[in-house]
Amino acid sequence: MDTGERNGEAQAELDAATSAPGPSLKVCRGVRGATTVGANTREAIVEATADLVRRVLDANGIQTDDIASVIFSTTPDLDAEFPAVVRTQFGWQDVALMCTHEMGVPGALPRCIRVLIHWNTTRSLREIVHVYIRGAEMLRPDRATPPKGGAH
The β-bridge relationship of strands 67-74 and 112-121 is antiparallel
Is 140 labeled as catalytic in the residue annotation?
yes
Annotated active-site residue in 54, 102, 134, 143: 102
Q: What is the mean pLDDT of residues 130-150?
A: 72
Going by C-alpha positions, the residue among 54, 49, 47, 33 that lies closest to residue 131 is 33
Annotated active-site residue in 54, 134, 140, 143: 140
Is 9 labeled as catalytic in the residue annotation?
no
Is 102 labeled as catalytic in the residue annotation?
yes
pLDDT tens across 86-120, in order?
Answer: 999 999 999 999 999 999 999 999 999 999 999 99
Domain limits of the chain?
Answer: 27-143
Residue 67: its pLDDT value, please?
A: 97
Residue 149: its pLDDT value, please?
A: 47
CA 101 to each of CA 19, 80, 81, 86, 125: distance values in angstroms, whole numbers, following the listed order: 33, 12, 12, 17, 26
Annotated active-site residue in 112, 114, 123, 137: 114
* Amino acid in the structure at residue 129: V
C-alpha–C-alpha distance, residues 90 and 1, integer Å: 51
Q: Would you say residue 12 has pLDDT above 80? A: no
CA 122 to each of CA 14, 46, 152: distance values in angstroms, whole numbers, following the listed order: 16, 30, 21
Annotated active-site residue in 47, 54, 87, 143: 87
pLDDT tens across 21-60, in order?
Answer: 556 799 999 999 999 999 999 999 999 999 999 999 999 9
Annotated active-site residue in 47, 99, 134, 143: 99
Angle made by CA atoms 77, 98, 33, in degrees to the nearest 5: 70
Q: What is the mean pLDDT of the chain?
A: 86
Q: Domain 27-143 is classified in which CATH homologous superfamily?
A: RutC-like (3.30.1330.40)
Is 132 labeled as catalytic in the residue annotation?
yes
